[in-house]
Amino acid sequence: MVEDLNSIPEETIEQARRLPAGDRHGFLWRLVKPRGRVFLERFIQDVVDGGEEAQTWGQGKILVANWSLSELLERTVSEVVEGLGEPAEGGWFSVDLELFQSSFEPSTGAPAVLRRGMKYSCSPPEGATAMSLDAVPVRAVRSIDIAVRRWMAYRVSAIVGLRLEGLVEVSDVVHALGLSDDAISPDAEHAIRALLAEAALETAPGRPAGFRGPDRLYR
């Protein structure tokens, strides 16, 4: 029996392909140890039925920061990205704005790193979610500080909405979120101040709040 689905021999996969579709799962189930069985349905879909290479299937992930709004705002930039680890394979990334259409998507603008060696069975660390390499569009970012603060501002704007126009101080925004002044980090304060400044500018139409103003606001 095998535990690592990447090690299933090609001849075994060919045997499974020759079986009726309803028999393939049972055939492979008997050859795979319990820890590997939880991934078997997707393996059959992608490899047995879809033709992907077994040896490389499920390898490579995008780790994307994943925090609730209150958890995000109480953290500094370094704490937000701590679970992602050190950047590699192209440096820091963020989830591209093309993910944003007409509705709010929390991971739009979220910081991310590529982990091409990460296997399908690896669990993401706290504060991160793991996605396949083609799951979401990402773009390289020059400054992780700016990227995280923009993400904070975007997340705040989604909750505050049109009320932002009537708010003047950072504390006004914090209270509109139902938080106390001491519940946010200096980076979150910076992000909210930049969001307020951005709202007063002539900015790029069609882009979500937090991504409309110049970098200098979030630097």
Q: pLDDT per residue over 133-174, tens digit each?
A: 888 889 999 999 999 999 999 999 988 987 777 888 999 999
Write down the pTM of the prediction. Answer: 0.86
What pLDDT does residue 208 have?
86
33: tokens are: 């140890």
Q: Which residues contact 84 (CB under 8 A, 6 or more apart)?
A: 63, 65, 111, 112, 113, 125, 127, 128
